[in-house]
Amino acid sequence: MFSKETYTARRKKLAESLSGGLILLPGNEEAPMNYTDNTYHFRQDSTFLYYFGINQASLAGVIDADSGEAMLFGDDYSVEMIVWTGVVPKISSLGEGIGVTNVKSFSSLQTVVSEAISSGRAIHFLNPYRSDILIRLAELLQCNYQAIPEKASLELARVVIAQREIKSSEEIAEIDKAVDITVEMHLAGMRYARPGMRESEVAAKVAEVALAANGNASFPIIATINGQTLHNHYHGNIIKSGDLFLLDAGAETETSYAGDLSSTFPVDPTFTSIQKEIYQLCLDAHMAAVAMLKPGTAFKEVHLTACRTIFEGLKAFGLTKGDTHEAVEAGAHALFFPCGTGHMMGLDIHDMENLGEQWVGYDGVPKSTQFGLKSLRLAKELRPGYVLTIEPGIYFIPDLMDLWKSEKHMEQFLNYTEIEKFRNFGGLRNEEDFLITEEGARRLGKALPLTIEGVEGVRSQ
Ligand code: GLY
Ligand code: MN
């Protein structure tokens, strides 16, 4: 947790930035896995954490945007509960730690909201992503739950985005820490993987590092020999000689800040020669994207640069042809790179994605509907204080190849006979995290080896 002054200043800025009314920020509840008392690892709502900082279930925060006053709602644990949970600080002491003296029982939240509604005040809340919070909001606002998304406050979402997207120095220190742990997770996996192991053994080795650092994984670990499946969470395959292994994993620190890195390495001590060539091309796209990071550059251009590098580079293998600019504009590169070059990162690995990509990544400009480009989560101009990932990849996805080939899709740019030879290649990407600075960009955390020699060096340790 940060100091109470940090949370007080954040809430003050939020209240001042809104036109008025009551800001309602529910914290998350415990989420049952298979019965009520067997819960998933608790994850607090990130916006609640940002303004109220308390990593505990069943709380809500209210900020009066007219008076600037903040209120914390929650109930002290009974001794019967403490028997199971251990001692939990009183709500008044939790409030004190974040500079909130006005603490109330959870049930009094209804009175505060109802009074505000009857006096005609606006109630600002964010569109919920959990159904229990949706139902709670519907009850508080006395409306049908289906009406909640349209009643959610775009004004609040935009103000929260404007505040959270610029990371403060104390947040950056936490993210640096998260990325350092993430680097150790990757090194552990890279050193450990051997032919004959199951993917799950590598995933476990990687997870161990995050847990040992008193945090957690920031998202479900991807540890796979099928890197062409973008979010592949299956860990049941046996790793064999000749495979490429893709690891995409990150740490979440005790303070809930995230790291998110990807690495691709050969299961053998060295890459095969074709793996080397495709890997180098992916790394070239990565470096071309990194070189563009500076304030004022639109991230869409960073992405398109990575796309063009990949499309142009695949010509050497006979897979692509024609004018690279035209091909990328038409979306032909998306056969090999059907997703985006990066995303914001902070308290969430895809930071604030619950507030709407159109605002987080596009400043309200509608997203492209083109296959590939529509999966770009960040397109807007970069500003100092942004934290984002760079993660272009090259993927050979058999189902996508078959579909496009059967439709003769963009045959003027794609040579399906040659592409077919890569059917079993798999997929690869590297990923690093960056802070946009006044001058350009700084990689966050320690360096993870990216070059062919660097990766092979770790594999032979
Ligand atoms: N690391 C997973 C993702 O960025 O979606
Ligand atoms: Mn990522």
pLDDT in tens, the chain (461 residues): 999 999 999 999 999 999 999 999 999 999 999 999 999 999 999 999 999 999 999 999 999 999 999 999 999 999 999 999 999 999 999 999 999 999 999 999 999 999 999 999 999 999 999 999 999 999 999 999 999 999 999 999 999 999 999 999 999 999 999 999 999 999 999 999 999 999 999 999 999 999 999 999 999 999 999 999 999 999 999 999 999 999 999 999 999 999 999 999 999 999 999 999 999 999 999 999 999 999 999 999 999 999 999 999 999 999 999 999 999 999 999 999 999 999 999 999 999 999 999 999 999 999 999 999 999 999 999 999 999 999 999 999 999 999 999 999 999 999 999 999 999 999 999 999 999 999 999 999 999 999 999 999 999 88
Please provide the CATH number assigned to the domain covering 169-459.
3.90.230.10
Q: Are 263 and 430 in contact (CB under 8 A)?
A: yes
Which residue among 219, 264, 339 is best mutated to probe the pocket of ligand 1, counting the most ligand atoms within 8 A of its Cβ?
219
Please, what's the b/e burial string for 393-423 (b: 16 or more CB within 10 A of its CB; e: otherwise)?
Answer: bbbbbeebbeebbeeebbeebbbbeebeebe
Ligand nearest to the CA of 222: 1
The pocket of ion ligand 2, defined by CB under 5 A, consists of 260, 389
3-state secondary structure 261-310: EEEEEECCCCCCHHHHHHHHHHHHHHHHHHHCCCCCCEHHHHHHHHHHHH
Which residue among 303, 337, 349 is best mutated to probe the pocket of ligand 1, counting the most ligand atoms within 8 A of its Cβ?
349
Whole-number pLDDT of residue 274: 98
CA-nearest residue, atom 2 of ligand 1: 248
172 alpha carbon – ligand 1 mean position (Å): 19
223 alpha carbon – ligand 2 mean position (Å): 14
Residue 161's contacts (CB-CB under 8 Å, 6 or more residues apart) are 352, 355, 359, 360
68 alpha carbon – ligand 2 mean position (Å): 36
Burial of 47 (0-12, 13-18, 19+ CB in 10 A): buried
34 alpha carbon – ligand 1 mean position (Å): 27
Ligand 1 atom at shortest distance from the alpha carbon of 391: 4
Domain 4-164 has CATH 2.60.120.260: no
- Please state the φ and ψ torsions of residue 84, each to the nearest 5 degrees: -95, -35
Residue type, 127: N
350 alpha carbon – ligand 2 mean position (Å): 7
335 alpha carbon – ligand 2 mean position (Å): 19
What CA dihedral angle connects 329, 419, 396 and 323, to 10 degrees? -20
Q: Are 270 and 454 in contact (CB under 8 A)?
A: no
Q: Are 413 and 321 in contact (CB under 8 A)?
A: yes
Rounded CA gap, 345 and 387, in Å? 6
Which residue among 339, 350, 377 is best mutated to probe the pocket of ligand 1, counting the most ligand atoms within 8 A of its Cβ?
350
Rounded CA gap, 201 and 235, in Å? 8
Burial of 296 (0-12, 13-18, 19+ CB in 10 A): exposed
Ligand nearest to the CA of 391: 2
Pocket of ligand 1 (CB under 6 A): 219, 248, 260, 343, 349
325 alpha carbon – ligand 1 mean position (Å): 27
Rounded CA gap, 328 and 83, in Å? 61
431 strand-pairing partners: 262
Ligand 1 atom at shortest distance from the alpha carbon of 349: 4
260 alpha carbon – ligand 1 mean position (Å): 7
What is the pairing mode between strands 32-35 and 38-39?
antiparallel
Whole-number pLDDT of residue 341: 98
Ligand 1 atom at shortest distance from the alpha carbon of 260: 1
Domains of the chain, residue spans: 4-164, 169-459
Rounded CA gap, 145 and 138, in Å? 5
Whole-number pLDDT of residue 461: 84
Domain 4-164 and domain 169-459 have a common topology = no
Which residue among 186, 231, 387, 448 is best mutated to probe the pocket of ligand 1, counting the most ligand atoms within 8 A of its Cβ?
231
Q: Are 380 and 322 in contact (CB under 8 A)?
A: no
Ligand 1 atom at shortest distance from the alpha carbon of 431: 1
29 alpha carbon – ligand 1 mean position (Å): 25
pTM to 2 decimals? 0.97
Residue 413, both tokens: 């740019």
Provide the strand spans (E) within 22-163.
22-26, 32-35, 38-39, 60-64, 70-73, 102-104, 123-124
